[in-house]
């Protein structure tokens, strides 16, 4: 990676955005935090947004807020999606495919983090792994052909947490039955999402499909993440550190970058580049080798197919 910021000395900002009129984006977790801000930014630029999240009231409130700002003709649709349920993911994918003929971008943004105690999804997955990785793996697989037909993009929102915790996929104990730790489980789930995305990039390249896959992260952003599910110590720590973080709006910029820019390369990671890549100028972030380990990624892909019941090989 060269030291020069590919988006100029000030890094990527929404001023670089072109019109997104006529484009349709599906954003998971679009009612809050970085996902909400990305939806808002794209709506300002004319895009149609499918806001896929688990709480209908919150999504409707978010849609009203964006329409109040952007205009009543802003194209925003709610789709109910609970990533903690494979059944719900399948139903949501069906509704999305019935609703929109074209998907120019699918943004895997939703997440839960630092869940205090081990919890299992209805399908029996540790909750962060289930919501953040398996739910999105299935959604991406079910929407892949439509994104491909639209010559669109899949954007996976990762985290600098991929290089924290144990820095590995715990194949011997994916549910952390042995020794559950909120931080380790969250970091492994974000690493899984990123390894999946880089594996998808490689598969897309190998078969020559006309689709782009990009990976980004918001740095440290003041959002709703961990506000409910974390333990007391983590909540206090996040509150103390909150003034050091950047706004949720700025946290959304890497997502918009990945949908907006032409010429992005595979194997890259986009996000803030200052103070340990937690805040500041948006550009390319260094990526540690373990995220690109092809053997581990192939094993994770096979396991994800098995666990979600989706045979998927682009
Ligand atoms: N904020 C940070 O500092 C930070 C740092 C690194 C990475 N990230 C990543 O950035 C992304 C956005 O997070 P954020 O900080 O904006 O968090 P946030 O404000 O908590 O927003 C998360 C969104 O995901 C939704 N969600 C959670 N569980 C879901 C489920 N089972 N099914 C469907 N939707 C679900 C939430 O819905 P509800 O409103 O109903 O809960 C909410 O809309 C995540 O991928 C996160 O891992 C954030």
> pLDDT tens for residues 163-180?
999 999 999 999 999 999
Kindly tell me if the per-residue pLDDT of 275 is higher than 60.
Answer: yes
pLDDT confidence band for 228 (50 / 70 / 90): confident
C-alpha to C-alpha distance for 47 and 250, rounded to whole angstroms: 19
Task: Give the Å distances, CA to CA, from 260 to 107, 226, 299.
Answer: 12, 29, 32
Q: 3-class DSSP state for residue 114?
A: coil
pLDDT confidence band for 226 (50 / 70 / 90): confident
Cβ(84)–Cβ(122) below 8 Å:
yes
pLDDT above 90: percentage of residues in the chain: 92
C-alpha to C-alpha distance for 293 and 163, rounded to whole angstroms: 13
Catalytic residue among 25, 134, 186, 198: 186
Report pLDDT for 184.
97
- What's 101's DSSP letter? S
Q: How far is the CA of 206 from the centre of ligand 1 (A)?
A: 32
- The HSE-up count of residue 124 (CA atoms within 13 Å, CB side) is 3
pLDDT confidence band for 236 (50 / 70 / 90): confident
Which of 88, 156, 225, 252 most suits a substitution to test ligand 1, by most atoms within 8 Å of the C-beta? 225
Which of 34, 91, 222 most suits a substitution to test ligand 1, by most atoms within 8 Å of the C-beta? 34
Report pLDDT for 103.
98
Q: How far is the CA of 4 from the centre of ligand 1 (A)?
A: 31
Residue minimizing CA distance to atom 14 of ligand 1: 33
Cβ(272)–Cβ(285) below 8 Å:
yes
Kindly tell me if the per-residue pLDDT of 1 is higher than 60.
Answer: no
Q: Which atom of ligand 1 is nearest to the CA of 131?
A: 31
Q: Which long-range contacts (CB under 8 A, 24 or more apart) does 225-231 make?
A: 225/33, 225/111, 225/112, 225/113, 226/113, 226/114, 229/112, 229/113, 229/114, 229/115, 229/116, 230/113, 230/114, 230/115, 230/116, 230/182, 231/114, 231/116, 231/182
pLDDT confidence band for 10 (50 / 70 / 90): very high
Q: How far is the CA of 224 from the centre of ligand 1 (A)?
A: 7
Report pLDDT for 277.
93
C-alpha to C-alpha distance for 76 and 74, rounded to whole angstroms: 6
Which of 38, 41, 50, 53 most suits a substitution to test ligand 1, by most atoms within 8 Å of the C-beta? 53
pLDDT confidence band for 144 (50 / 70 / 90): very high
Q: How far is the CA of 109 from the centre of ligand 1 (A)?
A: 6
Q: Which atom of ligand 1 is nearest to the CA of 84?
A: 31
Strand-strand pairing, 212-216 and 105-108: unpaired
Q: 3-class DSSP state for residue 86?
A: helix
Kindly tell me if the per-residue pLDDT of 140 is higher than 80.
Answer: yes
Q: How many residues does the chain have?
A: 314
Interval 133-148 mean pLDDT: 98
Q: Could you give the domains of the chain?
A: 19-308 (3.40.50.720)
pLDDT above 70: percentage of residues in the chain: 99
Q: How far is the CA of 270 from the centre of ligand 1 (A)?
A: 18
Residue minimizing CA distance to atom 1 of ligand 1: 221
Question: Integer distance in angstroms from the first to the last C-alpha of the chain?
Answer: 28
Report pLDDT for 2.
56
Q: Which atom of ligand 1 is nearest to the CA of 157?
A: 45
Tens of pLDDT, residues 207-220: 999 999 999 999 99
- What's 16's DSSP letter? G
- The binding-site residues of ligand 1, defined as CB within 6 angstroms of any ligand atom, are 28-29, 31-35, 53-55, 58, 81-84, 109-113, 131, 157, 159, 190, 217-218, 220-221, 223-225, 251
Q: Which atom of ligand 1 is nearest to the CA of 248?
A: 16
Residue minimizing CA distance to atom 16 of ligand 1: 33
The pTM assigned to this predicted structure is 0.97
User: What are the b/e assignments for 1-35, b being 16+ CB within 10 Å?
Assistant: eeeeebbeeebbebeebeebeebbbbbbbbbbbbb
198 assigned to active site: no
Q: How far is the CA of 165 from the centre of ligand 1 (A)?
A: 19
pLDDT confidence band for 110 (50 / 70 / 90): very high
Could you tell me which of 268, 246, 241 has the C-alpha nearest to residue 257? 268
Could you tell me which of 42, 32, 37, 15 has the C-alpha nearest to residue 259? 42
Strand (E) positions, the chain?
24-28, 48-53, 76-80, 105-108, 153-157, 212-216, 270-274, 279-284
pLDDT confidence band for 147 (50 / 70 / 90): very high
Cβ(51)–Cβ(130) below 8 Å:
no
Q: How far is the CA of 29 from the centre of ligand 1 (A)?
A: 6
Provide the mean pLDDT of the chain.
96
């Amino acid at each position: 990676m060269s030291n020069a910021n590919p988006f100029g000395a000030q890094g990527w900002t929404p001023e670089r955005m072109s019109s997104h009129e006529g484009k349709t984006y599906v954003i998971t977790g679009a009612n809050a935090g970085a996902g909400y801000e990305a939806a808002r930014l794209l709506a300002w630029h004319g895009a149609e947004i499918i806001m896929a999240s688990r709480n209908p009231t919150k999504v409707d409130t978010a849609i009203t807020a964006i329409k109040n700002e952007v205009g009543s003709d802003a194209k925003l649709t709610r789709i109910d999606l609970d990533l903690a349920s494979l059944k719900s993911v399948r139903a949501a994918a069906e509704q999305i495919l019935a609703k929109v003929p074209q998907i120019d971008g699918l943004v895997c943004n939703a997440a839960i983090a630092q869940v205090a105690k081990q919890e299992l999804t209805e399908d029996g997955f540790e909750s962060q792994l289930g919501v953040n990785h398996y739910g999105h793996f299935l959604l991406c697989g079910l929407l892949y052909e439509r994104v491909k037909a639209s010559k669109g993009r899949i954007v996976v929102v990762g985290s600098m947490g991929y290089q924290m915790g144990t820095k590995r996929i715990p194949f011997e104990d994916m549910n952390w039955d042995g020794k559950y730790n909120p931080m380790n489980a969250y970091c492994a789930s974000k690493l899984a999402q990123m390894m999946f995305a880089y594996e998808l990039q490689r598969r897309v390249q190998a078969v020559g499909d006309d689709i782009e896959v990009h990976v980004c992260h918001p740095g440290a952003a003041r959002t709703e993440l961990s506000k409910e599910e974390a333990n007391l110590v983590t909540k206090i720590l996040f509150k103390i550190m909150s003034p050091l973080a950047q706004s949720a709006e700025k946290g959304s910029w890497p997502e918009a970058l990945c949908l907006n820019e032409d010429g992005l390369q595979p194997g890259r990671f986009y996000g803030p580049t200052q103070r340990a890549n937690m805040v500041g100028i948006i550009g390319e972030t260094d990526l540690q080798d373990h995220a690109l380990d092809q053997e581990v990624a192939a094993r994770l892909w096979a396991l994800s197919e098995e666990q979600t019941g989706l045979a998927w090989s682009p």
